[in-house]
Amino acid sequence: MSVQSDRPLSALTVLETAKRQVRRFGESKTNVVDIARAMGVSHAALYRFYPSKSAIMDAIVQEAMEDEARLAAKHVETDGPAAEKLTAMLLDLHRRKRERFEGDQEIHNLYRRIVVERPDMIAAYADRITALIARLIEKAVQRGEWKVDDVDLAAGVVRDAGMIYVHPAFVAQLVAAGAPIEEMLRATIATLARAFEAGIRYAGGVHVEGAAAPEPI
């Protein structure tokens, strides 16, 4: 069925129509011809904006990633304790992934596939989120709130610790298991924040300031 619109044909309108088709029929049953038919145009017209179905599907997930990056970025420059800001950032990312899993299943499934099949996209996304975390940590260090000698390394630790709460496959598993996810997330960040407050030195091996040196083995 055609759903022609007065809006001019553009990459955005193609993407919006593609998402409607994916939500209705699933990715596997959606192709360029179906999207074009729904828009009331020839499939050749769509190739002006996207060279293939794969490019359209990638763009849908890229749009979701852009939304998540904006969501995370808003916490970097806000006022308040760093631990609260970091917790809020990861909670927002988790909730966005959970909302997609519970209320937008077909897009969630598409996202999960892209995570596996497009490591380049995922690496770029991970780098972007890690840079935001690094900026948050850096500001906390500048204020004297946290003591960390390698901000980038600390940001990677936070990213890896938080992955279970934001990776679409892990989110699906935790929700299905009925896990107390937000409580777990808060405990994870509280533990990291406490270490950053005490002081972490990565140079020469990880060392928490004030902690007793380990006994030699």
Would you state the pLDDT for residue 217? Answer: 45
Would you state the pLDDT for residue 206? Answer: 74
The pTM score is 0.89
Which tokens belong to 72?
A: 């995370």
Q: Running DSSP on this structure, what letter comes out for residue 7?
A: S
pLDDT, tens digit only, all 217 positions of the chain: 444 555 689 999 999 999 999 999 999 999 999 999 999 999 999 999 999 999 999 999 999 999 999 999 999 999 999 999 999 999 999 999 999 999 999 999 999 999 999 999 999 999 999 999 999 999 999 999 999 999 999 999 999 999 999 999 999 999 999 999 999 999 999 999 999 999 998 877 776 776 545 454 4
Distance between CA 172 and CA 167 in Å, rounded?
9
3-state secondary structure of 213: coil
- What sign does the dihedral 33-39-41-47 (CA atoms) show? negative
Distance between CA 75 and CA 141 in Å, rounded?
16
Would you state the pLDDT for residue 2? Answer: 47
Would you state the pLDDT for residue 88? Answer: 98
Domains in the chain with CATH codes: 11-46 (1.10.10), 60-208 (1.10.357.10)
Would you state the pLDDT for residue 111? Answer: 96
